[in-house]
Structure 1
């Protein structure tokens, strides 16, 4: 009997140990899970820190995007005239270069505004400044655009380059403002690229016009 009781006690002890082990394992599992959640919660700020390392947009970034979209659209509109009207191969190549650079930037700028909950300027909005080249950052008036559309050959080449120089100068000025006041890193990087590429194109156009 004693040996039977002893066996029962040992069996109960083993069973109790097994239960205890399961409970501890479960607790340990919970601990691991909670550690996993903690790890995740620690990773999230780090991920958001990485995302926010680009900086949150500010009013200058929004103004830059809203201004540069119609500005680029007009430059592309001007460049679109070159294949059928330009007399010079250099002007045609320059126009193609301008279009290739600015079309993708329009899409990028539009994407930023959408992601910021801002309205993208409608097609045609502010595409022609009422105040001429000296007004809104080098934008051409409707009359100037009509004059360009009505010209061809050497007259077109000269008008195109003279207008585009003013247009580029306006874009460079807008980009410099963005660099000084903007906080969204991709926008300030685009501003850098605009300053670099368009300053080089201004130099090229001045050389073609014989002004350098």
Structure 2
């Protein structure tokens, strides 16, 4: 179910004009001769290319986790503990999306949906088919499978899909620990790793009961 970071890199390379100074980051409407770089306030830490790419990719990744949670919450007869987890995921990741968007605005960098060659639609759910190359991202067919599932099948499918989704987020987070330098991004990354690993452990325990 998980897709490699190599696929994500290929997808991004096709969508973006890469520069040596900032791989995988560009500005909407920039001229061909311009070299896009993050704009930061005086004294503020400048993000590394890995910081910017992580934030750009994690926004739609989080949006899909919320979408998956909303699909589960719309079903009848779901166990109370599973509904509580889905609500928790949405409550945690929604504010993180807004925080990451504020960083991109501060840096003068676009979201993935605003980049040339993207399919857009970053402001809502259901527009993530073009991001399926990211670690853990579900295809539209897999989301449809979750929408159609009922009862115990829905419970098991949600757990397996969300475990893979969380594992992908953790892999992306570990990449930025190795290559990023922005302290606020690192703090968020460490929180994502801790919280999502705890949820993976819980969901894995539920699957083997």
| Distance apart, 1:129 and its partner CA | 5.6
- 2:190 is aligned, of 189, 192, 195, to 192
SS at match of 2:129: coil
Structure 1 residue 207 corresponds to structure 2 residue 205: yes
Structure number having the greater helix percentage: 1
Equivalent-residue separation in structure 2 for 1:111 and 1:130 (angstroms): 21
Equivalent-residue separation in structure 1 for 2:131 and 2:181 (angstroms): 30
Change in CA separation of 1:130 and 1:71 when aligned onto 2, cut-off 3 Å: closer
Greater CA deviation, 186-195 or 83-92? Answer: 83-92
| Structure 1 residues without counterparts, runs of 5 or longer | 1-47
**Which residue matches 2:94?**
103
Equivalent-residue separation in structure 2 for 1:119 and 1:153 (angstroms): 40
Kindly indicate whether the alpha-carbon contact (under 8 Å) linking 1:129 and 1:136 is maintained by their aligned counterparts in 2.
Answer: no
Equivalent-residue separation in structure 2 for 1:64 and 1:136 (angstroms): 11
Equivalent-residue separation in structure 2 for 1:162 and 1:93 (angstroms): 17
Structure 1 residue 118 corresponds to structure 2 residue 109: yes
Give the superposed CA RMSD: 2.0
Which protein has greater RCO, CA pairs closer than 8 Å, 6+ apart?
Answer: 2
- Structure with max Cα Rg: 1
| Distance apart, 1:91 and its partner CA | 1.1
Kindly indicate whether the alpha-carbon contact (under 8 Å) linking 1:83 and 1:92 is maintained by their aligned counterparts in 2.
Answer: yes
Q: Deviations over 1:107-158 (max 9, x none)?
A: 0111101111111233545723676xxx421100010000001112211111
**Which residue matches 2:38?**
none
**Which residue matches 1:127?**
128
**Which residue matches 1:91?**
82
SS at match of 1:90: helix
Kindly indicate whether the alpha-carbon contact (under 8 Å) linking 1:70 and 1:124 is maintained by their aligned counterparts in 2.
Answer: no
